[in-house]
Amino acid sequence: MSRVLLTDRIAADAVRVLESFGGIEAVSIGTPSPAELLDMIGEYDAIVVRSPTHVTGDVIDRGTKLRFIGRAGVGVDNIDVAAATRRGIVVINSPRSNTISTAEHTLAVMLAVAREIPRAHATVTSGKWDRDSFKGVELNQKVLGIIGLGRVGSEVAARARAFGMTVLATDPFVAPSDAGAGIRMVSLHELLPQADWITVHAPLVPETRGLIGVREIAAMKKGVFVINCARGGIVDETALADALDSGHVAAAGLDVFDAEPPGTNRLLTHPRSVFTPHLGAATTDAQRRVATDVAESIGLALARGEIRDAVNTPR
Ligand code: MLT
């Protein structure tokens, strides 16, 4: 019998999918503390996590039976993939299932920023009827710069085009001929001064940490809007807070932060900006899909030795 630990309250369907393979017992819990996880990991052949549980090198060392680590989502920055690879553990994610939810959330945040929806809503619910303070902007005929034209970036591009935006994108892994209709591939250096809106859709890896810092923000148009629904750490929060204070950046829309939760952070005091607690993939549709997809991948791997959606290739 193989045992699989599911943390972070992964959708219940995942247990059913795993156990349907036969010979698998799945145990679903909330988010364990690091010490609790170290205590229990030795009993499991596989673990499946969302973003709150960190599968560190220590957890991997203690997981003496561990053969598979599943990520119910895309980003694997909460998993020490190098340590897993060294131990011969396969890391499997769910790369397609939450693309649309994250793209839709990006557009929702852009529109909320453009029209100051949270502040306007707060005035109405507090009994005011203020039609003068909220002079929003249109997306129509504005230039959107997309940093990272992967699955989510491409879906954001399609939706932005439906709103009448001109789309520029930069991505070292996408050739201009593969960019898709109506998307012009440019370098980051060309994108920054042209875009009215800039949205990040890159993974957090050493090459993208701090990718948007003081120099890049200075190269942006004055009055630009900056959106990050990808990963905290890609946009330098201190540089962004300074640019919001000076007015160089008109407003930001952030779903992700360097530290989550962000606690007291100067960024959060900026009135025109919009902040959400890492909700990009948090729709019932996407959560059901990521959970069942990754459960099926782990089930196939444990029960039949079939590997799909692996992000590493241990020997
Ligand atoms: C992902 O990487 O799939 C999303 O950011 C969602 C999450 O981290 O839970």
Provide the token pair at 116.
């100051």
Regarding the beta carbon of 98 and ligand 1, being less than 6 Å apart is answered yes
The CATH homologous superfamily for domain 99-275 is NAD(P)-binding Rossmann-like Domain (3.40.50.720)
2-97+284-304: CATH topology: Rossmann fold (3.40.50)
Say what the pLDDT of residue 140 is: 98
Active site residue 155: no
Say what the pLDDT of residue 315 is: 64
Mind listing the pLDDT tens digit of every residue in the chain (315 residues)?
999 999 999 989 999 999 999 999 999 999 999 999 999 999 999 999 999 999 999 999 999 999 999 999 999 999 999 999 999 999 999 999 999 999 999 999 999 999 999 999 999 999 999 999 999 999 999 999 999 999 999 999 999 999 999 999 999 999 999 999 999 999 999 999 999 999 999 999 999 999 999 999 999 999 999 999 999 999 999 999 999 999 999 999 999 999 999 999 999 999 999 999 999 999 999 999 999 999 999 999 999 999 999 999 886
Q: Which of 50, 201, 278, 289 is catalytic?
A: 278
Regarding the beta carbon of 73 and ligand 1, being less than 6 Å apart is answered yes
How far apart CA 194 and CA 179 sit, in angstroms, is 18
For residue 291, what are the CA distances in angstroms to 28, 94, 97, 103?
A: 12, 8, 9, 19
Q: Which of 260, 270, 272, 288 is catalytic?
A: 260
Residue nearest to atom 3 of ligand 1 (CA): 73
Active site residue 260: yes
Q: Given the structure tokens 């769910």, which residue do they identify? A: 94
Domain range summary for the chain, segments of one domain joined by +: 2-97+284-304, 99-275
Regarding the beta carbon of 97 and ligand 1, being less than 6 Å apart is answered no
Say what the pLDDT of residue 228 is: 98
Identical fold for domains 2-97+284-304 and 99-275, yes or no, is yes
Which of 48, 51, 231 maximizes ligand 1 atoms within 8 Å of its Cβ, making it the mutation to test the pocket? 51
Active site residue 43: no
For residue 242, what are the CA distances in angstroms to 6, 101, 254, 276?
A: 40, 30, 15, 20
Say what the pLDDT of residue 313 is: 86
CA of 279 relative to ligand 1 center, distance in Å: 8
